[in-house]
RNA sequence: GCGCCUGUAGCUCAGCAGGAUAGAGCAACGGCCUUCUAAGCCGUAGGCCCGGGGUUCGAAUCCCUGCAGGCGCGCCA
């Protein structure tokens, strides 16, 4: 049931605008006292040569009032509609409770594949807070698209190629050994990385050695390859621990090394299509006509580049997954890079170039300035998560000492706090990392929403009722119940909007809003000790809230503890 | 220099295919636990929506311009 549609249909019969225009014009007044929906009549004024107020009056007199609307008023140039709260409550509860697989779930994406490139970590480099955004945004989009019926392919495009391996091998052979790395791989590798850069400033030959070692990997030298695999496996092992904490899985780990032997045909194709031009010894695709700098495909020494690989990967993904859309969840620093790649693919004559989408997000920095792996200025993601879990454990010890699964709950809540705070704001905003903010568990936070969820759960448990239906939900008509129901009714549109805009924060915000509305309701009204019909309806409402919050949390990658 | 992005309360931000008095949270201050989880609720205080022009019946929202900050602009990814 969509009130907007109902209203637009009723209005269509009485005025010159069509349904689409009316849908767009219909809005929600800033204050409930003004009504629940409003039609501003200013635009009609010119065409009809009447004052907006007269038009509103005329519409009010001629419209056939839909059942769900209780009354219609004219205020200024607005035609204001007031919902019949009881009918609205019943209808809304009916839709929510009737949606077995989740309110807002759809199959509009049925039979369509979505490739999502996210997280995409570098091997042999630490997994730090700079990777948080891409990881959790990508995961959330994955879940949102699947919720709407799409089939997603999550791709962790590993940075598992390049001179950093040469550097690591040099450092490893000079200053470390396998035992040390096995023991504490991430830290030791990071220390080696830092030491290499320190020493390289004093000794220029180190960089040359690194290049030699990388060349050996490329040429398939046995020792080099063995070390390369050793570092890669170790990093993946470490990183999987973090993904496990976050509850994230990937369908593919095909990264840079995977595309090594697939680039030549693409280069040939570019040449064949006359897109490649020589420039200072390198080969580029000229994009001047599109007001972009040239896209570098081959270096003067014949080596491939980032763009070469991404173009190859896009083509491979199209051939392998025949995607409806391919998303790249990568920081906005690479805006130009992706704009160039997409344009080149378009120039190659592939119509699916329009289905490639760069989902850009803001940068993470620290209060003291930019993150720098080379200088060791990093905050490990795992440390952040553990710190959050630790803090949660303390709070549980203090507030819920008799909780059953303390460890499990601490994990859900601690990790949830970190993920939630990353998905609270529009993804384009920069983030200054702060433990204070990320470890705050009050207000617009993950724990707050989870707390609301477990509040509903414990209430339902206490009531001991398992199934609910919308019969009798007409009584949910006080201010708090009405406000809450209006928010819940907007949830499906919110999910669709989040999908369309690739913007998980819309769901995060909605989760907060619903939690706030429920807590307010919960404080103002009693439930279990009310008369039976009221009690039953309010429990049904709590049940519906619990389900929506659980789904909303799921969609942004959080778990929903039943107690906390 | 050129291009893209951001600028709203002390801080972090919603609101931005134009609509009625600009909203949250944090921090501050003051209240509410013998009753369904106080990780909660209520109240107080806090705003030339970066500046200046324009379009419009109406602009935080659209256009132009200036300022501030971030990012990018050929052989890293």
Question: pTM score, two decimals?
Answer: 0.95
Arithmetic mean of pLDDT, A366-383: 79
Within 13 Å of residue A256, how many CA atoms lie on the same side as its CB?
A: 19
Active site residue A128: yes
**Contact flag, residue A78 CB and nucleic strand B, below 7 A:** yes
**Contact flag, residue A259 CB and nucleic strand B, below 7 A:** no
Q: Where are the alpha helices (DSSP H) in A400-531?
A: 406-422, 435-438, 446-463, 479-489, 491-501, 505-524
Of A137, A32, A206, the closest CA to residue A362 belongs to A137
**Contact flag, residue A424 CB and nucleic strand B, below 7 A:** yes
- Considering just the CA atoms, what is the radius of gyration of chain A in Å? 28
Candidate list A87, A125, A391, A429, residue with the active-site label: A125
pLDDT (tens digit per residue) in A439-468: 999 999 999 999 999 999 999 999 999 889
**Strand B nucleotides where any atom sits below 7 Å of a protein CB:** 3-6, 12-16, 18-27, 35-42, 57-58, 70-77
CA dist list (Å): A554 to A106, A135, A382, A412, A466? 16, 15, 21, 12, 22
Arithmetic mean of pLDDT, A145-155: 98
Within 13 Å of residue A95, how many CA atoms lie on the same side as its CB?
A: 19
Q: Residue A90: is its pLDDT beyond 90? A: yes
**Contact flag, residue A303 CB and nucleic strand B, below 7 A:** yes
Q: How confident is the model at residue A366 (pLDDT cuts 50, 70, 90)?
A: confident
Does residue A93 contact residue A70 with C-beta atoms inside 8 Å? no
Nearest residue, CA→C1' of B22: A30
Does residue A224 contact residue A169 with C-beta atoms inside 8 Å? yes
d(CA A38, CA A72): 9
List CB contacts of A38: < 8 A, sequence separation 6 or more: A26, A27, A28, A29, A78, A79, A80, A81
* CA–C1' A440–B44 (A): 24
Active site residue A462: no
* CA–C1' A483–B30 (A): 27
d(CA A205, CA A202): 9
Q: How confident is the model at residue A387 (pLDDT cuts 50, 70, 90)?
A: very high
d(CA A72, CA A468): 33
Of A71, A77, A82, A36, the closest CA to residue A58 belongs to A77
Q: Residue A92: is its pLDDT beyond 90? A: yes
Q: How confident is the model at residue A1 (pLDDT cuts 50, 70, 90)?
A: low
**Contact flag, residue A285 CB and nucleic strand B, below 7 A:** no
Does residue A60 contact residue A16 with C-beta atoms inside 8 Å? no
* CA–C1' A426–B46 (A): 25
**Contact flag, residue A465 CB and nucleic strand B, below 7 A:** no
Helix (H, G, I), strand (E, B) or coil at A443: coil
* CA–C1' A267–B74 (A): 18
Q: Return the axis-axis angle of helices A205-218 and A185-202, rounded to nearest 10°.
A: 130
d(CA A57, CA A39): 12
Sign of the dihedral through C-alpha A142, A145, A148, A149:
negative
pLDDT of residue A208: 87
* CA–C1' A335–B5 (A): 10
Q: Residue A63: is its pLDDT beyond 90? A: yes
For residue A11, what is the enclosing H or E element?
helix A3-12
List CB contacts of A126: < 8 A, sequence separation 6 or more: A186, A189, A190, A373, A378, A380
d(CA A130, CA A330): 11
d(CA A159, CA A132): 16
Query: What DSSP string runs through A284-314?
Result: EE--GGGT-PPEEEE-TTS-B-HHHHHHHHH
Active site residue A131: yes
Q: How confident is the model at residue A113 (pLDDT cuts 50, 70, 90)?
A: very high
**Contact flag, residue A554 CB and nucleic strand B, below 7 A:** no
Q: Where are the alpha helices (DSSP H) in A99-184?
A: 132-147, 163-175, 178-183
Q: Return the axis-axis angle of helices A306-321 and A263-272, rounded to nearest 10°.
A: 100
Average pLDDT taken over every residue of chain A: 94
What is the three-state SS of A176-218? CCHHHHHHCHHHHHHHHHHHHHHHHHHCCHHHHHHHHHHHHHH
d(CA A109, CA A147): 9
Q: Residue A369: is its pLDDT beyond 70? A: no
Does residue A276 contact residue A283 with C-beta atoms inside 8 Å? yes
* CA–C1' A80–B18 (A): 19
d(CA A56, CA A79): 5
List CB contacts of A330: < 8 A, sequence separation 6 or more: A117, A120, A134, A338, A358, A359, A360, A361
pLDDT of residue A346: 97
Structure tokens at A168: 């690591």
Arithmetic mean of pLDDT, A183-206: 86
Q: How confident is the model at residue A98 (pLDDT cuts 50, 70, 90)?
A: very high
Q: Residue A235: is its pLDDT beyond 70? A: yes
Arithmetic mean of pLDDT, A138-143: 98
Which residues, listed in sequence order, are joined to residue A175 by a DSSP beta bridge?
none
Nearest residue, CA→C1' of B40: A519
Arithmetic mean of pLDDT, A523-537: 95
- Percent of chain A with pLDDT strictly greater than 90: 80
């Amino acid at each position: 049931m969509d009130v907007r549609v109902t209203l637009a249909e009723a209005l269509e019969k009485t005025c010159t605008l069509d349904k689409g225009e009316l849908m767009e014009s219909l809005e929600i007044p800033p204050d409930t006292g003004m009504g629940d929906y409003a039609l501003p009549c200013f635009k009609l004024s010119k065409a009809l040569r009447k004052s907006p107020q007269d038009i509103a009056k005329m519409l009010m007199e001629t419209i056939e009032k839909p059942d769900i609307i209780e009354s219609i008023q004219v205020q200024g140039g607005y035609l204001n509609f007031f919902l019949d709260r009881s009918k609205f409550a019943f209808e809304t509860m009916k839709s929510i409770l009737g949606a077995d697989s989740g309110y807002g779930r759809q199959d509009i994406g049925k039979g369509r594949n979505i490739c999502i490139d996210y997280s995409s970590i570098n091997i042999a480099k630490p997994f730090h807070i700079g990777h948080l955004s891409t990881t959790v945004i990508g995961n959330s989009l994955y879940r949102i698209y699947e919720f709407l019926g799409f089939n997603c392919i999550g791709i962790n495009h590993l940075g598992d190629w390049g001179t950093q391996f040469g550097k690591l091998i040099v450092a490893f052979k000079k200053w470390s050994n396998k035992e040390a790395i096995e023991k504490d791989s991430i830290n030791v590798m990071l220390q080696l990385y830092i030491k290499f850069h320190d020493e390289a400033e004093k000794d220029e030959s180190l960089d040359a050695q690194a290049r030699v070692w990388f060349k050996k990997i490329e040429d398939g030298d046995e020792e080099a390859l063995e070390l390369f695999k050793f570092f890669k496996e170790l990093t993946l092992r470490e990183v999987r621990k973090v993904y496990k904490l976050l509850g994230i899985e990937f369908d593919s780990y095909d990264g840079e090394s995977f595309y090594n032997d697939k680039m030549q045909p693409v280069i040939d194709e570019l040449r064949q299509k006359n897109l490649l031009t020589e420039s200072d010894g390198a080969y580029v695709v000229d994009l001047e006509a599109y007001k972009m700098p040239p896209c570098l495909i081959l270096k003067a020494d014949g080596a491939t580049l980032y763009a070469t690989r991404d173009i190859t990967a896009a083509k491979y993904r199209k051939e392998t997954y025949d995607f409806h859309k391919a998303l790249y969840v990568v920081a906005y620093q690479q805006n130009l890079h992706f704009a160039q790649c997409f344009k080149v693919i378009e120039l190659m004559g592939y119509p699916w170039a329009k289905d490639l989408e760069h989902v850009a997000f803001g940068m993470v920095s620290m209060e003291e300035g930019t993150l720098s792996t080379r200088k060791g200025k990093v905050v490990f993601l795992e440390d952040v998560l553990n710190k959050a879990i630790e803090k949660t454990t303390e709070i549980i010890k203090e507030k819920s000492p008799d909780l059953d699964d303390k460890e499990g709950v601490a994990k859900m809540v601690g990790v949830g706090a970190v993920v939630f705070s990353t998905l609270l704001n529009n993804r384009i905003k920069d983030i200054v990392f702060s433990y204070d903010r990320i470890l705050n568990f009050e207000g617009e936070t993950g724990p707050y929403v989870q707390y609301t969820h477990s509040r509903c759960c414990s209430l339902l448990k206490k009531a001991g009722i398992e199934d609910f239906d919308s019969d009798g939900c007409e009584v949910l008509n006080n201010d708090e119940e009405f406000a809450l129901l209006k928010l819940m009714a907007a949830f499906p549109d919110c999910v669709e909007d989040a999908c369309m805009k690739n913007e998980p924060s819309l769901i995060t915000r909605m989760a907060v809003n619903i939690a706030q509305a429920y807590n307010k309701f919960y404080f103002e009204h009693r439930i279990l000790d009310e008369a039976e019909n009221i009690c039953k309806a309010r429990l049904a409402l709590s049940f519906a809230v619990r389900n929506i919050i659980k789904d909303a949390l799921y969609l942004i990658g959080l778990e929903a503890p039943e107690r906390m």
